Chains A and B, each alone.
Chain A
Amino acid sequence: MTMLRMRDATFARGGEFIVRATSLDLLCGEHRAVVCARANEARVLALMACAQVKPTTGHVSIGAFDPRVQPVHCKRLVAHVAHDVQPFDFTSFDAYVDFRATLCGIDAMSARLRAHAVLERLSGVHEAFAYPLAAVLAMQPRLLVIDRPQRAFFGAIRTVTENVTLLSTHLTHDDAQAFTPSARVEEVSR
């Protein structure tokens, strides 16, 4: 089953293409690394794969849903880990997981247990990156999109994302290859 399908998907803002025509098919359980020319392109492509940004032209489908028509259905399947480090302004990690679980309509206590289990396996990863990753994995997404993960944490991230369909964006071919050695690396708009 195809988890993510993009057909000539573009994103334009202010008369300029940020994401040029991109096509890809990501099957369930597959890991795929996409190499982008610019950081902004990688960021928007990742957001487009998560139904958080709608394509200007072309088509994107997540699971069997169209993000333009059913963004909520798409967001139930996908999780996104951003590249930018956000200030952690929750009272505790549990409060952070509870908040995310409430918004996703998931039982908060089960989410906490899962999040702590992931967090234990992410020891060594800086909490600014480990917290969001552990929290989104606790929501049990079908597809995980990671925007430009940091090279230092590649090994730790791989250990917790083995059983999930994964799409990652990168800026260099080396990074993409190092992050997903056995997976396909695709280049976009070079």
Chain B
Amino acid sequence: MIRVAATMAIVRERLRRERAILLFTVAGAGLIGYISADDGAARFGMLGFAALIAITAALAQRPGRMRALDAIERAAPLFGRELARARALVPAAVGIVATLAAWLGSALAHRPASGTDWLIASAAAVVSALIALSATLREGIALAAYVGLAMTCAAVVFATAAAHVRFAPAIALFMCAIAGYVALRQYGELLARHDDVG
């Protein structure tokens, strides 16, 4: 049984420790949104920046950065998938808030991106964060490969959404759902198998 209280407690504690970084990155995303030019490429660039913030937030969940919290979570009677969901919510929330900040920044400059753009950018940020989470339990080339995959995935989602085909945004969102599901499962299994001995 998945315990919502445990999940929310982990998310709250992790976000509390990252609040300063969160504030600066969100402010940065808002600024990028405000100063970006009024064309399609700049708009996707601005929203892609939010995906990069989500990837950075995912990499910040690496074991060892918050040792006390890691130790408590590791000792708690939680399944790997429960812990994975809780930890995944942190960069996902950062990604969504950063995308929203970028969107609000562009709206303040009277060049608001469409709601669909914001939805796709949020989905791309979340899925790239989920893929990047697996990098936190890897070393060397595997780590770089996961980060590269996360960035590629965000780029593919934006390219699909911008393609001149029918239902392009819907196809992009469907891709995000599939990739996100697989990435989260993969992270949960990695977390369950991971022996953190420092």
Q: Footprint of B on A, CB under 8 Å?
A: 11, 13, 18, 40, 43-44, 47, 50, 52-54, 71-73, 75-76, 79-80, 82, 84, 86-90, 99-100, 102-105
Given A47, A52, A72, A103, which contacts B10 in the complex, CB threshold below 8 Å? A103
Main SS of chain A's interface residues?
mixed
Q: How far is the CB of A133 from chain B (nearest CB, A)?
A: 13
Q: Are B195 and A100 in contact (CB under 8 A)?
A: no
B20 contacts the other chain (CB 8 A):
no
Main SS of chain B's interface residues?
helix
- With A and B bound together, what is the CA distance between A72 and B79 in angstroms? 6
- With A and B bound together, what is the CA distance between A18 and B197 in angstroms? 10
**How many A-B contacts at CB < 8 Å in the complex?**
64
B185 contacts the other chain (CB 8 A):
no
- With A and B bound together, what is the CA distance between A54 and B17 in angstroms? 29
Q: Which residues of B contact A72 (CB under 8 A)?
A: 77-79
Q: Which residues of B contact A13 (CB under 8 A)?
A: 197
Q: How far is the CB of A47 from chain B (nearest CB, A)?
A: 7
Q: Are A99 and B72 in contact (CB under 8 A)?
A: yes
Q: How many residues on B have C-beta within 8 angstroms of the other chain's C-beta atoms?
A: 25
Most buried by B among A13, A43, A76, A102: A102
Q: Name the CB-closest residue of B to A55.
A: B195
Q: How far is the CB of A107 from chain B (nearest CB, A)?
A: 11
Q: Which residues of B contact A40 (CB under 8 A)?
A: 197
Q: Are B195 and A53 in contact (CB under 8 A)?
A: yes
Q: Are B72 and A100 in contact (CB under 8 A)?
A: yes
Most buried by B among A11, A52, A103: A103
